[in-house]
Structure 1
Amino acid sequence: MMNPFFRSVVTASLMLGSVLPAFAACAVPEGIRLSDTDKDRISSLAEARSRGLAQALRATSAADRDLVAGLLSTAPSRPALETLPGDYRCRTIKLGGITDLTVYGWFRCAIRAEGDALSVVKLTGSQNFTGALHAGGEGVLMVGAGHYNQDPPNGYGDDPERDIVGCLAALGEAGTLVLEEPFPRFESVHDLIVFEPIR
């Protein structure tokens, strides 16, 4: 019988070349202006995911490795924008970087509709963000910025060090979403932010 650690490593290794191929098609819609750096980050999403996952394989927690494997083996789809508004619990999973794999606890997030515009916000925790959501390619592009604690939210472009770009997709039928942030500016190689609707 294969040791659980090696089984997890084998599973994740097989995923390295094939996980979530649809996310790589997340495109920047016409009229959305990004810095050259952030255009490169979005176009390098698959590379960031593979590099982050390769480092995450070295994590000692089997539960954390299995969590990531489950997320990255679920077929993604582009969510219908009209289904997104609501309240969510959300957690950040950091692949690679300072540590091999870091899984945070659950916080509160929300997606809000304001006319035809959609915004996403992380409401609780020490590192929060706000952003706009735009349908693009096979995913939904997120363009936003981070802020600490109860500091006022930043807008995209206010401080390039705080700018965030990512690609949002739906996983399965339960309303779960995952936002992939390639090559964040701090701490990690690739971030996954998981959203689960609060019923």
Structure 2
Amino acid sequence: APDAPTGAVLADWRGVITAADRDRYQRRAAAWSLALEQSRRQAGSGDLASLGDLIDPAATRAGVTPPEGAYRCRTVKLGSQGGDGGLGYVVYGWFACRIENTALGLKLTKLSGSQRQAGLLFPENDREMVFLGSMALASEPTARAYGQRPERDMVSVLERIGESRWRLVTPWPANESNLDILELVPAPAGTPARRR
């Protein structure tokens, strides 16, 4: 990640994003289209029908910036990089996430689960924030800064899809699916944000 003066907010993701992630970002409509088509045609794991607006690309609302705090989050993987040989979708259980204000801006961290992303949220418009982050796997420590391990870098778009409901959409993830969605809802008051 680029060096920034202490306390400076990185306002523009365009100066930070890698060429590979810029390409993924620019092709996100194609990722939605292919992933939804595969998820409706191929067998999967979980209840796809119950996801509603979570898997509707047009379900975005204004006022995207989420409040700081503890969140419950779950991943939904749509489509298969293995074509017809893979699962069309997988709906995972709930884990812990956190959104916090840092010296560089708003940071999103998935605290538990076997795939844990962490990165910064950059304001784009009233309906989108661009996430540039990295992924930690299994028992690895927290993800490294964006740009340090290209195979783990990720670009995503944060969108608000309900009164207190957001999704982080990752087009063309490195493994398994063609579109990953991290659903985020505020954790009930008093729920500790746990690392597992």
Q: Is the 8 A contact 2:109 2:119 kept in 1?
A: yes
> For 2:63 and 2:39, how far apart are their aligned partners in 1?
27
2:112 aligned residue: 124
Moved over 6 A (4+): none
| CA apart distance, 1:157 | 0.9
Q: Deviations over 1:4-48 (max 9, x none)?
A: xxxxxxxxxxxxxxxxxxxxxxxx936531111101111111110
Q: Is the 8 A contact 1:59 1:65 kept in 2?
A: no
Q: Is the 8 A contact 2:131 2:155 kept in 1?
A: yes
| CA apart distance, 1:60 | 4.0
Q: Deviations over 1:157-197 (max 9, x none)?
A: 11100001100011121x11001000001111001110011
| CA apart distance, 1:79 | 3.3
2:144 aligned residue: 154
2:4 aligned residue: none
**TM-score normalized by the length of structure 1:** 0.77
Question: Within the alignment, does 1:170 sit opposite 2:153 as a pair?
Answer: no
Aligned pairs for 1:4-83 within 5 A: 29=12, 32-60=15-43, 64-73=47-56, 75-81=59-65, 83=66
Change (3 A) 1:38 1:62: closer
Q: Deviations over 1:97-142 (max 9, x none)?
A: 1321001000000101125611000001111111100111340000
Letter in 1 for 2:122: H
Question: Within the alignment, does 1:196 sit opposite 2:171 as a pair?
Answer: no
Q: Is the 8 A contact 1:77 1:139 kept in 2?
A: no
2:89 aligned residue: 101
**TM-score normalized by the length of structure 2:** 0.78
> For 2:45 and 2:87, how far apart are their aligned partners in 1?
15
> For 2:170 and 2:128, how far apart are their aligned partners in 1?
13
Structure 1 unpaired stretches of 5+ = 1-27
Higher helix share: 1
> For 2:13 and 2:145, how far apart are their aligned partners in 1?
20
Structure 2 unpaired stretches of 5+ = 1-10, 81-85, 189-196
> For 1:32 and 1:134, how far apart are their aligned partners in 2?
11
Q: Is the 8 A contact 1:93 1:101 kept in 2?
A: yes
> For 2:105 and 2:140, how far apart are their aligned partners in 1?
24
